[in-house]
Amino acid sequence: MTGEKMAGAHPDEREKPTGRRNAQGIRIDPDTEAELEKRRAVISALVDHQPGVLAKVSGLFARRQINIESLTVGPTVDESLARMTIVVEEDEPGIEQAKRQLRKEIHAWSVQEVEDAVERELALIKVSGSDPAGVAAVAETYGGKTIQAEDGVLTVQLTETEEAVDAAIEAFEQFGVKEVARTGTAALRGGTQSTT
């Protein structure tokens, strides 16, 4: 109001509540506040199988600073749809945001975190060929096999969980790992449960 000077107590002299929220906006007791732990989440989305959708989904994760561990995409039983399997490592609120933001994408028909998952990824591993029998033996341990042997290079194919593929690559290090190509995790809920 004109003529009335802006007035009031100095900021330090005002009544102020002592409560606090954490970075996620949750009310906390600062003395007992624990850091939120990150966890690995496998998110499955059924999306329109058309150009541009992958770019939109990866763009939306990038914009929200949600780190994608792996992302696979491929056709499903319904020709018009593709399934995206996205592995993220985030705290609980971050995982929730990822799912909700993804659900807002117009091309996404459904979004679900895959619990009790059957998970596999395919890896092609090129190993030095000095010990074909040794390589074959390690490959067999992980359910893989040598699919090509040429000019001293053995190409091993194996399909396993992410952790097992990590372990296999480590085991192959003794022969010399030259190149690795991994597809990232594909996942479905186990048994009779469907992943929608």
Residues in contact with another protein by the rule CB under 8 A: 1-12, 14-27, 48, 52, 55-56, 59-60, 63, 93, 96-97, 100-101, 103-104, 106-109
d(CA 45, CA 47): 6
Between 14 and 163, CB nearer to another protein: 14
What 3-state class would DSSP assign to 96? helix
Query: How much is the CA Rg of the chain, to the nearest whole Å?
Result: 25
> Which is nearest to 23 in space by CA: 129, 94, 118, 102?
94
CB of 2 to another protein, least distance (A): 6
Between 10 and 191, CB nearer to another protein: 10
What 3-state class would DSSP assign to 123? strand
> Which is nearest to 108 in space by CA: 174, 170, 56?
56
CB of 57 to another protein, least distance (A): 10
CB of 74 to another protein, least distance (A): 19
DSSP 13: G
Between 1 and 133, CB nearer to another protein: 1
CB of 104 to another protein, least distance (A): 6
Between 34 and 55, CB nearer to another protein: 55
